[in-house]
Structure 1
Amino acid sequence: MISKTAAKFLVVAGLFNVVIWPRFAKAIVDDDRAWAGEHWHSTPQAFFWVHAVLITTAIVIGLGVLVVGVRAHRSASSASGTSR
């Protein structure tokens, strides 16, 4: 079983990833290196695709960590409530 403190850490880490990475994605989309010409109207370059894969992976992992943290926190809360 995970402690409440560890569960809270996982929730914070998951939320951090879910909040920060989409902001980074916006920065990548706005970067001239991501496109062959005009943004969204030209071919995406390798710079775009590499970062798209990294960002997607980080968000999926962040969501997984968030789910584990929330479940662990609920489990720790219910376990501490029944032991009183």
Structure 2
Amino acid sequence: MVIGRASAWLLTAAGVFNIVIWPRFAKAIVDDDRAWAGEAWASAPTGFFWVHAVLIVTAMTFGVIVLVIGLRAHRSLRVSS
């Protein structure tokens, strides 16, 4: 499969975006009162916390995969030029 230069840049940008944005969202979830049954980090996490934790881990995983594909496409374009 051949990925063009514009697609390689788009994949790289999408991967970087996901890696930059989702940790900030994770901090917001941890700081949210709905994430904990009582005091933050001193009580059990709620379903709200776990659902968002799965969402964040999945999105970050896909972000890394997309970033790797974009970087490999850049490398293959450089080698073939």
TM-score normalised over the length of structure 1: 0.93
How much does 1:70 deviate? 0.1
Cα distance in 2 between the residues matched to 1:38 and 1:58: 27
Name the counterpart of 1:60. 61
Q: Which amino acid aligns with 2:58?
A: T
In the alignment, structure 1 segments of 5+ residues that lack a partner are: none
Matches within 5 A, 1:1-84: 1-80=2-81
Cα distance in 1 between the residues matched to 2:15 and 2:7: 12
Q: How many positions carry a matched residue from both structures?
A: 80
Cα distance in 1 between the residues matched to 2:77 and 2:9: 10
Cα distance in 1 between the residues matched to 2:71 and 2:40: 38
How much does 1:35 deviate? 0.2
In the alignment, structure 2 segments of 5+ residues that lack a partner are: none
Rg (Cα) greater in structure:
1
Q: Sequence identity, in percent?
A: 65
Cα distance in 2 between the residues matched to 1:41 and 1:18: 28
Runs (4+) of structure 1 exceeding 6 A deviation are none
Cα RMSD, aligned residues only = 0.5
Cα distance in 2 between the residues matched to 1:29 and 1:11: 28
TM-score normalised over the length of structure 2: 0.97
How much does 1:77 deviate? 1.5
